[in-house]
Amino acid sequence: MSFSLCFLLAFITLHVSSCDAWVMPAGGKSTATRHTASTSSHLGMAVGNKHGENACFLPLEQLDQDYYAPRIVQIAGAYPGLTRQEYEAVTSEEAPEPGQWTYDFSDPDGPQMGTVALPGSNVVAMCQDPVVIIAEHDFLGVPLPSAITEPVDLIVLVDRAAKSFAERRFLVLEIRGEISIAAFEAKADVPEGASILGQVVLVQIPWLSCMKPTKSGFMEADEYF
């Protein structure tokens, strides 16, 4: 007997209420830790333009306080034939806070850092070879309210199939073995020897409790992006 399953996703989630950057610690535990090593190595490496510089703008999407992220849920099995052991073996976690998202670390031994669910849209669907990078907002130059003093994680969706230069489009580059995200006004501005690894197609910003509501009912009063 064959069974058609719509989704095959494991669910081990990590909440991002603190919005700190994270790395996957040894042993595969889904615990958030500060991304200090990689961050410090880039402090003196300014490449290209950040968001808002020289008419270069990231494709930002600000989540609002009423946004509910897609929830990744484990599949226990197929019915008929499902056993109680299989049914009770899967785990579940709480849903993310409104305006935020969760990460999935179901395969700590795999090449990926983890998984995150993105809302369905034309932009997401058109990506030929999508991959997500978690980036701190200040390294991309994305402005956030002054009440936020700690780095905030942003979801950066990259299409690895788009390896060509585009004016003022944010690119993922490899420069002397380091990954950089930047935009350039002209191809001549790209550092010599840099390899274009993809283009940024979407940057998702969480809604945090210190932010003002993003939907007031009046367009002239709505804030952010």
Alpha helix (H) residue ranges in 26-121: 36-41, 84-89
Closest CA relative to residue 69, chosen from 105, 32, 94: 94
Q: What is the pLDDT of residue 216?
A: 58
Peptide bond just before 80 cis, omega within 30 deg:
yes
Polymer length of the chain: 225
Q: Which two tokens stand for residue 219?
A: 């367009």
Report the pLDDT averaged over residues 21-45: 37
How far is 172 from 157, CA to CA, in rounded Å? 11
E strands, the chain, in order: 13-15, 60-62, 102-104, 115-116, 130-136, 153-159, 171-175, 178-182, 195-205
Give the C-alpha distances (Å, rounded to integers) separating 46 from 42, 60, 72, 105, 206. Answer: 8, 21, 37, 31, 26
54-103 residue pLDDT tens? 999 998 988 888 888 887 777 777 777 777 888 788 877 777 888 888 88
> pLDDT grade, residue 223 (50/70/90)?
low
Alpha helix (H) residue ranges in the chain: 36-41, 84-89, 122-125, 137-140
DSSP secondary structure of 116-150: E-----HHHHT-SSEEEEEEEHHHHT----TT--S
- For the ranges 40-44, 157-161, 211-215, the maximum mean pLDDT occurs at 157-161
- For the ranges 16-30, 49-63, 100-114, 211-225, the maximum mean pLDDT occurs at 49-63
How far is 24 from 109, CA to CA, in rounded Å? 10
Higher-confidence residue: 87 or 34? 87
Q: What is the pLDDT of residue 214?
A: 58
For the chain, how long is the longest CA-to-CA vector? 63
| pTM of structure | 0.68
173-199 residue pLDDT tens? 999 888 999 999 999 999 999 999 999
Mean pLDDT for the chain overall: 75
How far is 135 from 151, CA to CA, in rounded Å? 9
